[in-house]
Each structure stands twice: as structure tokens, then as C-alpha cells.
Chains A and B, each alone.
Chain A
Amino acid sequence: MVENAVLHSIDFYVIGIYVFLLLAIGLFVSMRQAKNASLFVGDKSVGFASIGMSIWGTNIGPSFLIASFGAAYSSGMLIANFEWFAWIFLLILGMVFTPFYLKSNVTTIPQIIKRRFGDGMYRLLSIYSLITIVIIWLGSGLYVGGLLFSQFTGWELWQSVLLLLIIATSFTIVGGLAAVIATDAFQTVLMIVGMAALTLIGLYEVGGIDGLMAKAPAEYWRLIDFDSESVPWMSFVLGYPIMGVWFWCTDQTIVQRVFASKDVPTAQKGILLAAVLKILPPFIFILPGIIFYVLQPGIENTDGAFIAMVSEYMPIGFRGLMIAVLMAALISTLDSGLNSFSTIFTLDIYQPMIKKGKELSGKEVRLIGRIVTLAASALAFVWALAMEGMATNLFEIFQTLIAFLAPPLTTLFLVGLLWKRVTTAGATYGFVLGCITCMTVGICSINGQTFGLFEQWPHFLNLTFILFIVTSAITIGISLVTKHSADEEFLPKFKDVANTDSSQNKSIWRGWLILAIVMVGLYAGFEYLARNAGNTSDIPSSLSTELSSSPSTGSSTKKTASHSEPLTTNTDGLGLPEVNVYRGETPTFDGFIDQNEYQDATMLTGIENWNPQFSAVSDPKDLSGTVWIKHDGEYLYFAFDIVDNLMYGVDTPRWLPQENPNAHELTREGFPWFGDGVEVLINAKNSFSQEDGELNKGNGHSWQMVVSTHKSRLGGVGVAGLLEGEERSMLSAWNNYQKWILNKDMEAKVRIKPDSKGYTVEWRIRPDPCLEISPGEFWSADMPVTKMGLNLAVADLDNENEGAGNWGNFWHENWWSGERDKRTWLKQWGTMVLHGKTQPISTQDI
């Protein structure tokens, strides 16, 4: 994937400095705190800034980082909803749960439940908490983080995982929660700085804010989208709160920071800070994903987008910084997970179950806590390595799993704590049955197993909501038919614990109010952007009327954008050509153009009169020919019969242009189009802006490929055939093109005429993956009439002196469409109108 050569020694110094600072801070805090301080809540002296930053840093792990970057790459701002809704649940945590937790004087979440529902529920929840910690906080993060680290350094996965784990475990064992919180704060700052650097460098590359606004699709700024497939708005509004209450308000790892605070206002201020910091992720984690899409569209595996951006655009030193950011994201999550695992195990399992509730001395707690931390990290190590051998989409599975872990816990807390009528039996059955239902539904829906009951599972956010309703119904139903058990205790009412009148409380509320206004402003701002700014790529279709009247055999009635005619911005008023292409007989794909083989194809002639990029053709013997285009339902065919009296590299030496001595290398540095040959350029999506200089995307959306008469990818230099075309400067384009050639998605056969006075080319193109008319949808013959952008070029090099004075000593390069120097701009291409059926024969029409 990424070669080790990406890292410069300076990058390693940067990583080294980060690790050194991290350990120094961890050690310093460990030494400074009182000897008898708790591993689990420190010495209750943590400041609000540390609490806020620690919550933020714990929340953002490497898998989050990679996934949200990838989601931004593929669908823009939608994913930001998960960030910009979090503040509501942080508000609930801060203003509702925090006073309640701190006044109840507990150290773990299960202890709250113990007070309300007794020991049985307590044990259940303790074990459940340990499992969720391993799943969410330890295993997947470590696996993803280790994998990324290995990709950069070239280490084995186990080595990376071990190193990361040793760093995280070291200060967690020595300093406990205090060290975790202090290092989290440092790592939070590092992540913000590092990701801001990535964003700014991305902006720089994309042409600044103006460039981004002009080039990013307008829909990428949309936050609220009712029809979205990834984050449908209604599902989000229903499902996210269920996840939010559990994750932000009742998960041990997040809430442990609250337990460590000195008093309620400190915790509340810390939580407010975390909520304010939650404004940032869309700008520094999601925005760079959008920027990268503009810079390099067409990456299929979006999980790799982050690394691709870092290795392609970050300069020396900054790549090290980005690795430090990834490490920070992992370690700040991992250490918190380790610490809360140790907390729950020691206080909720070891003490009550193994020690039968006997008081533990401070020393004993610390010893057990440390041993458990070590054990948890060993467990995480095994778990992370085990994940390597499991299904490849495991990462996604864990992302989705969170949605299915939430409903039972959210029910337990919301219904169980808010409503006095809930009985232990109700809570327990609701929880257990809820867990079983959720896991069953979760596993089935992740695997897409529907048992033929319905077409497909609803969106996971809808499922979360439905499961919450189901679990609540069980809890309430059973509570109504059972009685309260003896060890139940009613917790203080929320309103009794909240100190509503202090002036500090008022200023905190003011903070929340300002934050709420900012958030509404952000949503309004992005809605404005989605409506007004951006790249309005789809020009209103002049084809739509034609579409509605033409018989549609296929199910797809996808609207197709078309070149607006006449093209008003075409500076010198050149009309752009258009060609109709129909279905025909399957030709013999051998490079020879036999009599009648293309009689059912559309013919284009007059290559000698096409728009010259270099010297105009004066003698048709020098360069002329015919092009035929048709499809047979399976492939799109182009056939060229070219007349050329002097064949470069056949009749002449393979002389090199002075512009590039490596012109004939079959690498991105070579010139594929240097020599005699033909080019096909297709804009299958047929979307383009009126912007000058907009080039093809280098994927199924739009591309430019080359057939040379003297070199090819499959045959090497000396053998005619297909080559990766433009834009080679885009790595993704180069990779896509090469894949197409190697997979034979696109093939070309070339025959030099026996007298070497020209050549013939047969070139066939498989619509999937080469004609992607909309993301994931490929052209097929059963679709209604479809328009695509098309350009064709025929190049002719003769002797070096023929083209003297021209760039690269090119002699001729004639283009079907477009102006000189601008013919590769998407807006300059002609149009190919693809008909699924055969060409109407004029006699039949009469």
C-alpha cells in the first residue's frame, strides 16, 4: 500500500518527539499526584480543561478518524451530523446526569444501577460494560491504529500493536486516570493542530477557499438530507438520540472523567468545553475528506483515502506529524478504555464477587487495578491480532455494532431511572431480552440476512430506534405485572440534585445557550452553502423532454445532464459535434476491419480536417482516416482506419522529444501519447462545470485513454496497444486505467498495414467499470437514450524535423472536438448519444 519510503528521517524525529512528550507528561503527572491517589478517579483534582479535552480525545479514535474522513470523501458533510448533534447529549450529561452522579457518590456506572435495582442487575451490567469496553474502546481501535502504523512504517502488525500498547499501558498503569486525562489533553491538542495542518495544506492544494467552493459539489455541503442513503435525516433524528444517551451519558469510559472531577461545576465546565470542541471535527476531520475528493476523485476504497491524502500531499515532517496524530487518536482512546476496564473489574467484579464485598485497602486496589490493566492490555493485544484473521469488513461491523449495543442501556437508564414504577424484574428482563434481540437483529442486518421476510433491513439508525421501543415496551410491560423487590432503592430526583440557583450554574447555562446558537448558525450556514455555493455540475438537461417521450425499456429513468447547446461560454463560438451511436452486430475483435464489419456502425470521417492542435494536415496521405462507433450490448466499440504515410517508430527511429527523455517509459513519467496513435475520451456521467480547465476524473465517470502504435501496457515498448492516458498526474487515475487494461475491461487490437502506410485499431470498452453514468451505476443497452461527453484524437509523428517548433516536435494531433490547448477540458468535448437499439434504417421509416 504505502511504501516505507514515504517517511523521511525528519518524520521519525517528529514521531519520536511526540512519544517522548507523551511519556514525559504521563510520568510527570504520575509522580506529582498524591501517593494514595486512586487509579480510577485520580485525587479528584482534575481541572475542567483537562476533563473537556480528555472527553474529546477519548471519543476520537483512529477508526473514527479513518471512517469519517472516508465518509466525507464519498458523501460530504452528512457524516458531520454525528458530531454536531453530540453537544445535545453532552448538555444532558452535564446538566442532568452529572449532578446526579456526583451526588450519588459512585465511581462506576454499574454502581448506580446497583443502588436502583440491586445486585443481580449490577452483575449483569458490570459484565456487559466490560464487553462493550473491549469491543468499542480496545479491540477495533487498536487493530485499525496498528494497521495504519504498519502501513507507514512497514512493520509487522504485531510489532506495531505491541509498541502502541506498551506506550498506552505504561502511564495508565503507573499514573491511573490522572495520567490518562493529562496525556489525553496533550493528545487532543496535537490532534487538533495536526488535522488543522492537513486541512490547511489541503486547502492550499485545492486553490484556497475560492477553489474549494468552485470545485466541490454543492450537495457535499448538505447536512440535512431526507433522501440520503448514508444518513437519512429522519432516521438520524430518531436513531441518533438512542445512541447518544448511551454513549455520552452512560458509558463508563466517557463518564469516568466526570467521576474524577472535584465538584459539579468543574465537571459541567469540562463537559461544556468538550461540547464546544465538538464543533471542530467537521472542519478538521471531515473537510479535508471533501477537499481530497476534489483533489482526487475516484478512490474506491474510501478507508484508504486518509492515508492516500497524507502520503500524497503532506510534505516532509508533516507525515510524521500525521502519524503522531493517528497514534494520539489511538492512545487517547486506548488508555481510557484500559483504565475503565480496570475500574469496573476491580470495583464491580473483584471486590463484590471475589472478595465478597470486603473492603479493599488503597494499596490492594492499586495492585489489583494495575494487574487488571496489564491483563486488559494483553487481552487487547490478542483481540487486535485476532481481528486480522477475521472478516475484512470487520471494521464496518464494529462501527454498526455500536448502534445495536445502545438500545438496552439507553432503555435501562432513561426508563429505569426516570420512572419509579419500573421494577427489578422489568429492568432485568428488558435488559436481557433487549440485548438478545438487539444482537440477533444486529448480526442479521450486518450480514444482510433477511430470511426472505422483507427485501432488505431498514437503515441501522431506524433499527436502533425500533429496538429501543421494543426494549422499552418489554421493560414497561413486565414492570406493570411485577412488584418492586426488596433491594430496590429510589434514587434522588434529578431536580433535587441540580443546583439551579448558583451564579456559576447560570454562567454555565449561558455557555450552553451560546453554543446552541452557534450550532443553529452552523446548520443554517451549511444549508445556505448547499443551496447556493459549489459546483453546480449538472447543467439542466435539454434532453429531459426527449427522455420522457422515448420508450424506456429499462427500470432506470436516471436523469442525464447534457451539454447545453449552444455552449455559450465557448469563447469563439465553435459548435460542439454530436454523434449518435447504436447497437450493431458483434465484430470480430482482431484489429482487422473487414468489409461490412462496421456497416451497422456510425461513421466519422475527415480526420484530416479535425481541429489541429499542432500543424494542420495539408495532404490526406499524411494523415486521414475513418472512425466507426457502435455497441453490441456488451461492449462499446471504436474502430479506426488511419492513413499515415510515415509511421513513427516503424519507418523512423523512436526519437525522443527534448521535453522528456523518459517519454517512452511505461510509467507516470512517460508520454503515452507520444507517437502515432489514437485517443478516446469519454465523460460517461456527462457532468461538467463551465469552469475553464476542468479535466476528466480518471475513473468510470470520465477518462482519457491512449492507443499507441509502438508501445502498450500489455506488450511493452515496441508492441502496439492500449496505454494509461490522462490525467496520469492523478495516482488514482493511473491505477484505475492500469486495472482496466489488466482486467481487460478495455482492450485494443492494432494492426499496422502491410505497406506501413497506416494502421487499424479495434478498441472495445466494457461499460462496467468504464462507463459509470452515476456513482455505482453503469451504462447498459436497456437504458433510455443516454448522452455522454466524447472526444477523439489522432496523433501523427513523423521525423523529428517535421514538427520542429511544435511542442514535442509533434507533427499532427487532430481532435474531433474542442479548441486548441483546451480540448481536454470537459466542457470542450462533443456529445455521444447512445441508443440501446439498432440504427433506424431510413427505408423502414418510410
Chain B
Amino acid sequence: MKDFFDPRYPDISDLRAKAQKRIPNFAFAYLEGGCMEEISVARNRSDVAAVQLRSQLLTPFDKSYLEVELFGHTYSAPFGIAPIGLQGLMWPKAPEILAKSAADKNIPYVLSTVSSASLESIAEISQGKAWYQLYNPTDNSIREDLLNRIKQAGYPVLVVTVDVPTFGFRPRDIKNGLAMPPNMTVKNILQMLAKPSWLWETALAGKPEMQTLKPYMPKDMPMDQLAAFMNKTVMGRVDIEGLKPIRDMWQGPLVIKGLINPQDVKLAIELGADGVVISNHGGRQLDAGESPIKPLQGIAKKYRSDIKIFMDSGLRSGTNIAASLASGADFTFLGRPFVYGVGALGKKGGYHTINTLMMQLTQIMNQLGCSKVADLPQYLVEE
């Protein structure tokens, strides 16, 4: 199972096509969609695709190693599974499947606060290897309680997402009236009925709910008020002052996710953060946003010695991962490809996707003549 690879889907786009056939439209649209015109989603892709690498063939070379050391643990590959909200809506038990695959393959899985799985269950499934992604809980009591639970469950790394000061204006979701659990409108029901395998699995898995946050949600909150509640309590805007109490309460490695401005990276270093994720939230928050691959090189050159630099947004292949690492990232995260994998192949989808990306990346590094991940910047064709 761990080495599962289905030759029918050698590329993430193949998985995507299969997943689209198996996931109801409203859920797939949430996974795919970006903010407003979705310009930023497309730009993330094209800017990553524009990165070029140059191979070096005549120097002696033995083999390439994908392992990367982060915060005292050596991971088997330089990529992890990014936090994705409402995963359980796209494929039942997706968080559980991906957390298990990631743990078995020894790469980090980052659990979203707005996941359908509870943080306690994912900690158990991932044998304590999963990371935890937190929004900014503005309610002090919730923040305290959540942090206690995260510590108690044994999460090694805390990722605080700071790039959602607003609810992303995503036209597809607005049209679909997206909610978790899904609204039973005629349109949604028809979309669900069109996907029998999803229906069956969903029935057996049960209604997707935000398990981690459930204890804090008030009784009988109507769906239309939930967003307001979330904004007010667990997803509020966070600035450097807001991060300080979290830094004080959390003694382990702290990663700030969603930065793109070098100024912010500097502030994060001053705060005492241990890592930053250069990201524009997969193009889901600011449609005119800069794609993170662009400033990455500059940020990496300046700050790589001070802080771990991670990158996500727009990565869909081993090539993209190599491009990001060559541009200076220590490590990368991918989101959508893993959900495509689970959507297409169910339980085996996590392993398949991880194996595909590892095979692709190995081929690229072998082709370049690069033996370790940290050396990839030497192969970048600088503009």
C-alpha cells in the first residue's frame, strides 16, 4: 500500500480529471476556486512554470537524496501536505486518509483548524507526526483551550495562518451556497446523486462537521451566521501583536503561514518564529496578489540563515517543487494535488500522490545532477 502507484495517473492533471468525475461539483469548485476572477490562481501556475533549471552533466554524481531535516526531524521528501479546510466535504475521511499516508511516507501533514477531523484523532492517526494549522482565535478562552489541546495531543509544529484577514470572495462558492455540512438544495442533491461513489462513502463516513471547533460553536447556529461567528472567534485578523501571546504560549517550533512581503518576514523573525510559509493562499484571498515564487528568491537570499523558508501556492508537480526549492525554499507544501489524489483513488490516493511527486522529483534531481535538496539553487537559471 505504501508504495502504491497507479500508472493510469502519472500526472497530477490525470488525478484532477478523475477526481472531478467523482467529487460533487460544489465541493470540487471549492477545491479549485480562487478569489474573484481567479487571476491569481492562474498566475501562480504560470509563474512557477516559468522557472527554468539547468543541468550539470559531466561532474561526478552518485544519486540524489530527497531527505530534508526540519526542526530536528528528517523528512523523506522536501514537500508536505498543506492545510486544507473542509477536506471531508471533498472526499469523506480525506483528512484521515492523508494524515495516515503522510505519516507512513514520513512527510508532514498539516491539519487545518476548519477540518472535518478533530485534532485529537489526527494526532493519533499520524502517530504524532502531523503539524497543526491555527487561525487567530480572538476569543481568549478558545485560544487557550485550543493551544492546550494541541500541546496535549502532541503536535510537534504549530503553523499560524495570517493571510485570511477577510473571508475570500469566491464567486463559485457563493453561487453554490457552500456550507459544511452541505446544504440540501435541489441543485446540490442532484450534484451529489451524480457521484454515487462519493455518496456511498459519505454515508458510511457520516456528516462532515468541523470536529475540532465543534465544542466552541454555539448551540443551533444557523449557517448564515456561522461565518460571522468564525470571523469573530477563530479566524480574526491577526497582526504581530496578536501573534505575541501565541508565541508566548507555544514553546515548540512556530511557523507563520501566508507571508509574501519581506517586511512581514522580518517581523516574523523578530517575533521569534521558526519558519515562514511564503504563500498567497493558493490564490484564494487576493486576486491581484503577487505569486509567491517571485519574491521567494529575494527573501531566501536575505533570510534563509535566520529562519526556515517554506513555500506553497501553484505547485502541482515534481518540477514545480524543484523550481520552488531552486528558488530558495527549504521546503514546500502542496494542497490541491493531494485532494485530487484522494478524490480519484480514495484510500490509496494519498500514497499514489506522494509517490508520484517523489518519483518526479527524483527524476529531475538525477537529471540535473543534484544530490541533495539544499543544493538545488545552484541549478537555477537566474533571470
Chain A nearest CB, measured from B311 CB (Å) = 36
Interface residues of A in 786-843 (CB under 8 A from B): 805, 807-808, 820-822, 824
Interface contact A203-B189, CB-CB below 8 Å: no
A227 within 8 A of B: no
B202 within 8 A of A: yes
Chain A nearest CB, measured from B236 CB (Å) = 12
Interface contact B184-A315, CB-CB below 8 Å: yes
**Which of the residues B184, B199, B215, B219 comes within 8 Å of A727, measured between beta carbons?**
B219
B141 within 8 A of A: yes
Q: Which residues of chain A have C-beta atoms less than 8 A from B205's C-beta?
A: 208-210
Interface contact A204-B216, CB-CB below 8 Å: no
Interface string of B128-147 (1 = CB under 8 A from A): 00000000000101000100
Interface contact B202-A204, CB-CB below 8 Å: yes
Known: A807-B218, A821-B215. A204 touches B206 (CB 8 A): yes
Interface contact A317-B189, CB-CB below 8 Å: yes
Known: A10-B186, A316-B184, A316-B186. A208 touches B216 (CB 8 A): no
Q: From B185, which residue of chain A is reached at the shortest CB distance?
A: A316
Interface string of A185-221 (1 = CB under 8 A from B): 0000000000000001101111111110000000000
A824 to B203, CA, bound (A): 28
A571 to B152, CA, bound (A): 10
B9 within 8 A of A: no
Interface contact B206-A659, CB-CB below 8 Å: no
Most A-side CB within 10 Å, residue of B145, B200, B220: B220
Known: A317-B189, A728-B220, A820-B141. A201 touches B203 (CB 8 A): yes
Chain B nearest CB, measured from A514 CB (Å) = 25
Known: A208-B205, A659-B229. A693 touches B215 (CB 8 A): yes
A104 to B202, CA, bound (A): 53
Chain A nearest CB, measured from B290 CB (Å) = 35
A726 within 8 A of B: yes
Interface string of B155-192 (1 = CB under 8 A from A): 00000000000000000000000000000111001000
Interface contact B204-A208, CB-CB below 8 Å: yes
Interface contact B220-A729, CB-CB below 8 Å: yes
**Which of the residues A208, A659, A729 comes within 8 Å of B203, measured between beta carbons?**
A208
Chain A nearest CB, measured from B203 CB (Å) = 4
Q: Which residues of chain B have C-beta atoms less than 8 A from A659's C-beta?
A: 218, 221, 225, 229
A726 to B189, CA, bound (A): 30
Q: Which residues of chain B have C-beta atoms less than 8 A from A808's C-beta?
A: 218
Interface string of A650-673 (1 = CB under 8 A from B): 000000000110000000100000
Interface contact A203-B203, CB-CB below 8 Å: yes
A824 to B233, CA, bound (A): 20
Q: From A209, which residue of chain B is reached at the shortest CB distance?
A: B204
Q: Which residues of chain A have C-beta atoms less than 8 A from B152's C-beta?
A: 571
Q: From A9, which residue of chain B is reached at the shortest CB distance?
A: B186
A454 to B297, CA, bound (A): 94
Interface contact A316-B189, CB-CB below 8 Å: yes
Interface contact A729-B186, CB-CB below 8 Å: no
Known: A208-B203, A208-B204. A726 touches B219 (CB 8 A): yes
A692 within 8 A of B: yes
Chain B nearest CB, measured from A734 CB (Å) = 11
Q: Which residues of chain A have C-beta atoms less than 8 A from B219's C-beta?
A: 726-729, 824
Q: From A318, which residue of chain B is reached at the shortest CB distance?
A: B189
Interface string of A314-336 (1 = CB under 8 A from B): 01111000000000000000000
Chain A nearest CB, measured from B262 CB (Å) = 34
Q: Which residues of chain B have C-beta atoms less than 8 A from A206's C-beta?
A: 206
Interface string of A244-279 (1 = CB under 8 A from B): 000000000000000000000000000000000000
B63 within 8 A of A: no
Interface contact B184-A200, CB-CB below 8 Å: no
Q: Which residues of chain A have C-beta atoms less than 8 A from B202's C-beta?
A: 204
Most B-side CB within 10 Å, residue of A317, A807, A824: A807
Interface contact B203-A207, CB-CB below 8 Å: no
Interface residues of B in 304-347 (CB under 8 A from A): none
Interface string of B189-223 (1 = CB under 8 A from A): 10000000001101111110000001110111100
A318 to B219, CA, bound (A): 28
Interface contact A205-B225, CB-CB below 8 Å: no
Q: Which residues of chain B have C-beta atoms less than 8 A from A318's C-beta?
A: 189
Q: Which residues of chain B have C-beta atoms less than 8 A from A316's C-beta?
A: 184-186, 189
Q: Which residues of chain A have C-beta atoms less than 8 A from B186's C-beta?
A: 8, 10, 316-317
Q: Which residues of chain A have C-beta atoms less than 8 A from B218's C-beta?
A: 659, 807-808
Interface contact B206-A203, CB-CB below 8 Å: yes
Interface contact A200-B189, CB-CB below 8 Å: no
Interface contact B207-A205, CB-CB below 8 Å: yes
**Which of the residues A211, A805, A822 comes within 8 Å of B215, measured between beta carbons?**
A822
A821 to B206, CA, bound (A): 24
Interface contact B206-A693, CB-CB below 8 Å: no
A571 to B144, CA, bound (A): 14
A510 to B219, CA, bound (A): 56
Beyond A204-B207, A318-B189, 7 extra complex contacts between A and B, CB < 8 Å:
A10-B186, A200-B204, A203-B206, A659-B225, A807-B233, A820-B145, A821-B145
Q: Which 9 residue pairs are nearest across A and B when measured between Cβ atoms?
A: A208-B206, A207-B206, A200-B203, A315-B184, A208-B205, A204-B203, A211-B206, A203-B203, A729-B220
22 A–B contacts from the bound complex (CB under 8 Å): A8-B186, A200-B199, A200-B200, A203-B204, A204-B202, A205-B206, A207-B206, A207-B207, A208-B204, A208-B205, A209-B206, A210-B205, A210-B206, A316-B184, A316-B186, A317-B189, A318-B189, A659-B225, A807-B139, A821-B141, A821-B145, A822-B215
